[in-house]
Homo-oligomer: A and B are copies of this chain.
Amino acid sequence: MTLADSTPTQIAAAVQAAESAAPTWARSSGAERARLLRGLATALGGARDILVPLADRETGLGAARLSGEIDRTAFQLRGFADLVEGGAAFAHTDDAAVAGAPPVGHPYLQRVRVPLGPVAMFSASNFPFAFSVLGGDTASALAAGCPVVVKAHPGHAELSRAVMALAQKVVAEQGAPAGVLGMVEGAGIEVGVGLVQQPAVAAVAFTGSFRGGRALEQVALQRPRPIPFFGELGSINPVVPLPGALKANGTALAQGLAASIAMGCGQFCTSPGVVVLPTGAEGDAFVATLSQALAAQTPHAMLNAPIRAGFERGVQAWGQHAKLQPLLTERAAADAPPRPFLAQVSAADFIADEHLHEEVFGPAALVVRTRDLAQAAQVLQAIGGSLTVTLWGFEGATEPGAAEVELVRNATQIAGRVLFAGVPTGVAVTQGQQHGGPYPSSTAPASTSVGYAALDRFLRPVALQDPPAWLAQRAGVPV
């Protein structure tokens, strides 16, 4: 198919429609928002037989995975429906007046939250449903009372059109304001820049590459009126097994880790990219099992040719790196799915070279060998912001030694999610989730792009001082 970039006029029209819809949608009730979100979930699930083959043609992710992703996306839409129906978007604090002079005395303040306004939502390549047209950003923004203008991902443009068409049918059927959901398309950065620069756009939600995200963040900040930019830019997700875990359970853990590295052809933002292992025999045994298990993996094709080319460039650079010892070197033909890559490096060399801390998007990982837990903590600090850190071997009922606790502390310092079991791939959509860590994994580390706290991104607190009765009685529902 030919992709036509949206023209500046089309971009302006999409944002204009969203701006027109914004006041109506902002004052919609929880029930109205829930109804739309559930209608979208139902429409998505109902079109599964058409959407899955379309998505597979554009992304090659396979019917099973894509159908499961529809389930997740519908679940997410329904989850936000339940959340907003329960009043989450209208939560407010009634701070009664206190008589007397300040600082003790104060007027009545009702602290409410107002929807930011139209949200520009940038779809990701690797989740054509769950982080796309009707994905988590859209679901949370709609639940918050904000219209959404989607920037479709060119990697699944036809699918995006099909999903948007069925979404707009639901919007029309329910009589929701037409501009509550719109879309622009473009292969390069120009359309995205044009969208973010529209004065009526009030916030940006972005999932994608570090480079693309940082560039758009600058556009958002350099507008005459800067706006919040919620960017999820990926990360390398270190995994750190304690020596005890290697001894007790090394083989099974290595096999599980290999599967996680290769899962989805490594095209998950939580794909493990660094394995921190002690020097010595047990570490060596783990590396051997991991290498074997990863060699036995047969990842499916990557999403598209540019992503595949980026992966090959990345592993080629690693393969030629003087300090790296390659462990898996098999390469695949350009028209076959890629082969996993694994290499080993000392902690000192890893810490010293910041290029090794960058994500290679795909089924590739580095094994970093450390002399002790203190050095493992240094490796985490060198990596910096990450969506996840996985720590294995902390299951004991009592607090472990100081070095182990210090490792946990370092993990919580750099990551948004710290796992003590399992693998980082697979991000539950639930209240306790946090998908977003310090820079460079996210541009807004206090926010999450997965889970129900994602709603909070699109609401801004406002203190109503001495509100009249008719206003206070709205109890957090915007006028």
Contacts and interface: CB of A to CB of B under 8 A. Distances in A.
A479 B426 contact: no
Interface stretch (A28-36, A330-338, A427-435): A427-435
Contacts of A446: 228, 456, 459-461
A448 interface: yes
A415 interface: yes
Interface residues of A, number: 81
Nearest to A23: B409
A62 to B, nearest CB: 17
B72 A431 contact: no
Given A463-B432, A471-B408, A413 B226 contact: no
Contacts of A421: 107, 465-466
B468 A225 contact: no
Given A114-B412, A417-B462, A468 B226 contact: no
A111 B399 CA distance: 19
A93 interface: yes
A280 interface: no
Interface stretch (A170-178, A254-262, A345-353, A389-397): A389-397
Interface in A427-468: 428-434, 438-440, 443, 445-446, 448, 451, 453, 456, 459-468
Contacts of A117: 413
A430 B478 contact: no
A109 to B, nearest CB: 3
A422 interface: yes
Interface string A348-390: 0000000000000000000000000000000000001100000
A398 B473 CA distance: 10
Which of A408, A418, A463: most chain B Cβ within 10 A?
A: A463
A422 B466 contact: yes
Contacts of A72: 102-103
A468 B396 contact: yes
Contacts of A95: 430-433
Contacts of A432: 93-95, 109-111, 463
A103 B429 contact: yes
A237 interface: no
A472 to B, nearest CB: 10
B397 A468 contact: yes
A13 interface: no
Contact of A467 (B23, B221, B420, B470): B420
B110 A466 contact: no
A52 B453 CA distance: 45
B439 A226 contact: yes
A282 interface: no
Nearest to A394: B468
B103 A71 contact: yes
A381 to B, nearest CB: 10
A405 interface: yes
Interface in A215-247: 221, 225-228
A106 interface: yes
A426 B395 contact: no
A463 B418 contact: yes
Contacts of A166: none
A463 B416 contact: yes
18 contacts: A71-B103, A95-B432, A110-B432, A225-B438, A228-B446, A397-B468, A408-B479, A409-B479, A416-B460, A417-B462, A419-B466, A420-B464, A420-B465, A420-B468, A421-B465, A434-B462, A446-B456, A446-B460
Given A226-B443, A398-B470, A408-B471, 15 more contacts: A71-B103, A72-B103, A75-B103, A76-B103, A93-B432, A107-B422, A109-B430, A394-B468, A415-B462, A418-B463, A419-B466, A420-B464, A420-B465, A420-B466, A420-B467
**Which 9 residue pairs are nearest across A and B when measured between Cβ atoms?**
A95-B432, A109-B432, A106-B428, A434-B463, A75-B103, A421-B466, A419-B465, A111-B432, A417-B463
